Each structure stands twice: as C-alpha cells, then as structure tokens.
Amino acid sequence: MSFDRSIKIAPSILSADFANFGAECEAIEAQGADWVHVDVMDGHFVPNITFGPATCAAIRPHIKTVMDVHLMIAPVDPYIEAFAKAGADIITAHVEAGPHIHRTVQAIRGAGAKAGIALNPGTPASAVAELLDMIDLVCVMTVNPGFGGQKFIDMTAKVRALRDMIGDRPIHIEIDGGVDPTTAPLVAAAGADVLVAGSAVFRGGSVTDPAPYGANIRAIRAAAEA
C-alpha cells in the first residue's frame, strides 16, 4: 500500500448480501471500489453483532485491493492477532474501547497490519495527538457506531483539526457514516481522503446486477473530488 491523498471509496460490506460476500467483494472492486471496509461489531461496544475473523479469512481471497477492518469491539486487544492472521491490511480500533490505546496500536503494528484509530462523534481530535507518529489512519465516525444507514453527523471541524495536526505525516483520514454524494464534498474539502459508504454504494444493485454499484461509487467520488 503506497500512500497518497487521492479520494478513495471504501464500500462497507455491512450493506452487502451476507449470503454472497465473496461475490459482493469482487463486484464492488470490479465496479471501482478502492478499499473494502469490514465493520466488525460485538453487541457489547456497539448494539449490533456482525462478523469475526473467520468471515474476514473467508472473504480475503476475493479482495484484491485493501481489506480495511474496523473493530467496533471491546476488549479489542485479544482479537488483534486473529484479524491480522485473517488478512486485514488495516486494523482500526476505537480509542473509546479500552484504557490503553497506545498498547493497542503497538499490538496492531506488531501483528503486521497498518494501524488505525477511530473516534466516535463525542470524542475530540486531541485524543489522537500522542499517537500520530505510530498510526496510519484516523477514522472519524460521522454516526454513532452500531448500525448502517444512519443520518450523517457533521464532523467537518474535527476533520480540519486532524488535518492540521497530521501535517505531512502519511496518515489517512477516513470518514465512516452517512457518506453519500451530498455529504462527501463536505468531508473531502475538510481533508478526508477515505470515504466509507454502505447503503449509498449498494443501493439499487446486486451481485447479478452490479452496474448500480459502479454508478454509485462514481457519483460519490465525483462529488468528493469536485
């Protein structure tokens, strides 16, 4: 993974057909997805349960780009190695999920993955200030995590603050929640470069009719780049 700040669209497979994950991953990549975003939820840190390392390992052979694994789980440290072994390129943990985020980042790096930190809407940008020299990505939640299809919460001031703090460090700013062609330009202008989109990508399409995925991805990208 070479670093660049061009706009990257990372469809969330939370909105895909769960019975066809492998084919869905291949379909979104063929339709122009840059990364594949995997939302892992535990029913404890967030009020929903999705999937674990076995699912990640099963879909990994179907993903040619970047497998971007977002852990909305607590505790997080005991599971890092399993997700790294499952093939995660990036593992993102929440700063709110445990008392020792520095140790968590060390563990992600030690397991051979790139390290991300996610910030819930109520958590300030300053929460990552002491970690900027050891992370690869900051994920700004623009919904409260736990469910797809939620309404966008405006976090552009936080994104701008992070962009200023990051400076020329090779750190991605990712946006997760309510991203569509209307909200994408707001966060892109503030400095975000990775846009996670679930329902806005998968809406209207299917494994047997994936063309709408491509149209949706292109619409979000064009809006963000404008």
Catalytic residues: 39, 176
What secondary structure does DSSP assign to 86-103, as a single string? TT-SEEEEEGGG-S-HHH
Bridge partners (DSSP) listed for residue 141: 176
- Output the six-digit token pair for 198: 């679930």
46 contact partners, CB below 8 Å, separation of at least 6: 72, 145, 146
Neighbours of 210 (CB within 10 A): 18
Residues 178/150, Cβ–Cβ less than 8 Å: yes
Strands (E), 60-198: 66-72, 90-94, 114-119, 137-141, 172-176, 194-197
Report d(CA 176, CA 164) in Å as an integer: 20
Task: Give Cα separations from 59 to 40, 48, 171, 214 (angstroms).
Answer: 14, 21, 26, 20
Per 3-state DSSP, the chain is made up of helix, strand and coil in percentages (nearest 5) of 40, 20, 40
Cβ burial, residue 65 (10 Å; 0-12/13-18/19+): middle
